[in-house]
Amino acid sequence: MRAWLPAWLSHYRRDWLAGDVVAGVVVTLLLVPQGLAYALVAGLPPAVGLYASLPPLLLYGLIGKSHAQSVGPMALTSLLAAATLARLAEPGSGEYLALAVWLALLSGAMLIALGLARLGFLADFLSLPVLSGFTSASALLIVLSQLAPLLGLHAQGASLPVLLMGLLEGLGRIDTAALAFGGAALLWLAGARRALPPALARTAPALAVLAALLAVRQAGWEGRLPVVGPVPSGLPSLALPVLPWGRLGELMLPAFFMALINYVQSLSVAQLLAAPRRERVEPDRELLALGVCNVGAGLFGGFPVTGGLTRSLVNAAAGANSQLASWVAAAGIALVLLFAGDALASLPLAVLAAIIVAAVAPSIRFGVLRQAWRADRADAVAFALTFALVLLLGVESGIVVGVLVSLGAWQWRSSRPHMAEVGRLPGTQHYRNVARFTAETLPGVLFLRVDESLYFGNARLVRDAVLERLSERPELTTLVLIMSAVNRLDVSAVAMLEWLDDSLAARGVTLALAEVKGPVAAVLARAGLLERFAGRHYLSTHEAWERFAAAPEFHI
């Protein structure tokens, strides 16, 4: 029986309870406005955001490993969903909603498959600059997309030109009542973040919702400005909308893409939460849990979900000790769905827009760009390109180009390796770049260190660089290639070494190898090159040095 319980439940400690309950209530207060708001970002009826919140809270509690991870609707995920769905169906249509559900189901299934196949490492190919550029540009897009509801306008879109056009067209039709509610909520949220103690600031969005509901009712303004509208009372029920096969095919690539982004986001939250408690994050388990959460959200009419950074930090700070906090929040959401649906109906959309803007604006950050510019120009270019293309072309094209740029730049650099002539630091057994250190050299012997694994991408260049150095210094009779930084070797590089050895032999120059690592030696052995280099293959640079210093005139 105990084996079927989640680990945290089977050794639950009574003193965790208070913290878990408080955290669950705080998360509920945060999640209700977030759920409604992020459904709007995704172009869906606000109630869908609450449906999408309930199953993940329950399921993550069952199989998730992170004590404070709070899986549910997220701004970025919703923007991604909107970008995909707006291409495939009319926002507001039944088909649009059905596609949203299937996007959650498919991306969930893919997450589960990736977890079972242990392919979580795929997410590693999203570099930090690409992710930051993507997050910042997406946050900017989300803020811009919320200007329309803040001003009482209708506008949809997931790229900068479309959003700006929509805003410009609507400028003459600004709804002052919406603007008043939205502006007041924005000022309150910004003020609360600065002035209130953190514990209270977390409930600021819930207070804004409450105040707005009271104000609308008090003033009798229900019909005068855009509001959330009916939230059907009752829990979500299991239902699977039918879609033709062709439509599912169109969702495959976006679902894969969404799975990766949601996974990266969820994983980084889990790692952040685990660090201070010295918990170990199992990426493949996290994949599995997130996949099940998404399938759960989809089966109950929701849309894609992931681990939210703010919400999870709030959960942890409010005292969550275990996944029970998530179950308490689930109960809270269920209560809201059962009893508070009618009350939420007259909530102005402008207030939700203000909550989104306040939540997302801090994510527009250029710190990584500055850091990248100093440390690595290619990374800075990857950030800038991703940022610009997400804004101009949309989220998917932007991130795909960003990933290709990071991969291409890394590969390009590996094709132009750093090579250094090394010499001995006087009186030691240490060998360093003669251009950076005062080092001794041996007459007639060139000690050359190649700072890169050798493969097809750089084999020709390395060979040419070696030949160039030799023709510049005709007095050389020996070349010692120091392989301490050569981590791998492919067949093209093996062929190059053979060619180089023949070519140097024809010039009367001996080629010797030093510091060949285990894996590289294994490749040389399998290719039959260890025999060729027998007697010219030294364990250390120092061994080679002593050998050639002792008998400079004698070369094997």
- 339 touches its own copies by CB under 8 A: no
Stretch that binds its own copies, among 93-101, 201-209, 354-362, 453-461 (CB under 8 A): 453-461
**Does 365 engage in binding with its own copies (CB under 8 A)?**
no
User: Which H or E run includes 424?
Assistant: strand 418-424
CA dist 434 and 423 (Å) reads 6
Structure tokens at 290: 């997130």
Give whichever of 180 and 470 is closer to its own copies, judged by the CB atom.
470
Among 452, 501, 510, 548, contact with its own copies (rule: CB under 8 A): 452
Tokens 């009372």 locate to 233
Stretch that binds its own copies, among 36-44, 86-94, 110-118, 277-285 (CB under 8 A): 277-285
Site string for its own copies, 480-499 (x = CB under 8 A): ----xx-xxxxxx-xx---x
- CB-side exposure of 374: number of CA atoms within 13 Å? 5
Distance of closest approach, residue 397 Cβ to its own copies, in angstroms: 20
CA 161 vs. chain centroid, Å, equals: 25
Q: Could you give phi then psi for residue 320, rounded to 5 degrees?
A: -60, 125
- Tell me which of 88, 113, 128, 196 binds its own copies, using CB under 8 A: 128
Binding of its own copies by 540 (CB under 8 A): yes
Q: Binding of its own copies at residue 413 (CB under 8 A)?
A: yes
Asked if 413 contacts 378 with a C-beta cutoff of 8 angstroms, the reply is yes
Is 127 among the residues that bind its own copies (CB under 8 A)? Answer: yes
Q: Cβ neighbours of residue 224 under 8 Å, at least 6 residues apart? A: 177
Give min distance, CB of 414 to its own copies, in A.
8
The single residue among 22, 62, 206, 407 that binds its own copies, judged by CB under 8 A, is 407
Single-letter amino acid, residue 508: G
d(CA 411, CA 394): 26
450: exposed, middle or buried (C-beta count within 10 Å: 0-12, 13-18, 19+)? buried
- Residues paired with 537 in a beta bridge: 513
Q: Does 173 bind its own copies (CB under 8 A)?
A: no
Q: Does 401 bind its own copies (CB under 8 A)?
A: no
Residues between 279 and 298 that touch its own copies (CB under 8 A): 280, 283
User: Residue 212 or 259: which CB sits closer to its own copies?
Assistant: 259
Residues 143-172 that bind its own copies (CB under 8 A): none
What x-and-dash track marks residues 371-390 binding its own copies by CB under 8 A? xx-xxx-xx-----------
**Rule CB under 8 A: is residue 504 a binding residue for its own copies?**
no
Is 430 a residue that touches its own copies (CB under 8 A)? yes
Of residues 93 and 471, the one with the C-beta less far from its own copies: 471
Beta bridge partners of 348: 227
- Closer to its own copies by Cβ: residue 156 or 477: 477
Output the CA–CA distances (angstroms, integers) from residue 310 to 188, 304, 363, 471, in the order listed: 18, 17, 11, 62
Rounded CA gap, 404 and 427, in Å?
48
Least distance in Å: CB of 499 to its own copies?
Answer: 8
Of 79-87, 255-263, 320-328, 538-546, the window that binds its own copies (rule: CB under 8 A) is 538-546
In the complex, the smallest distance separating the C-beta of residue 443 from its own copies, rounded to whole angstroms, is 23
The verdict on 477 binding its own copies (CB under 8 A) reads no
262: nearest Cα among 387, 385, 104: 104
Nearer residue to its own copies within complex by CB, 129 or 254: 129
Q: How many helices (H) and strands (E) does the chain have?
A: 25, 8
Region binding its own copies by CB under 8 A among candidate stretches 150-158, 235-243, 331-339, 430-438: 430-438
> Is the Cβ of residue 175 or residue 515 nearer to its own copies in the bound state?
515
Helix 309-317 vs helix 17-41: crossing angle, to nearest 10: 160
Among 451, 473, 546, 549, indicate the residue that binds its own copies (CB under 8 A). Answer: 451
Shortest distance, CB of residue 163 to its own copies, whole angstroms?
Answer: 29
Check residue 506 for interaction with its own copies (CB under 8 A).
yes
Alpha-helical (H) ranges within 318-365 are 324-339, 341-344, 349-360
508 scored as a contact of its own copies (CB under 8 A): no
> 3-state SS of 100-169?
HHHHHHHHHHHHHHHHHCCCHHHHHHCCHHHHHHHHHHHHHHHHHHHHHHHCCCCCCCCCHHHHHHHHHH
Structure tokens at 314: 């709030």
Compute the least distance from the CB of residue 422 to its own copies, in Å. 11
Is 156 or 540 the residue whose CB approaches its own copies more closely? 540
125 counts as binding its own copies under rule CB under 8 A? yes
Report CA-CA distances (Å) from 433 to 421, 482, 546: 6, 12, 18
Rule CB under 8 A: is residue 230 a binding residue for its own copies? Answer: no
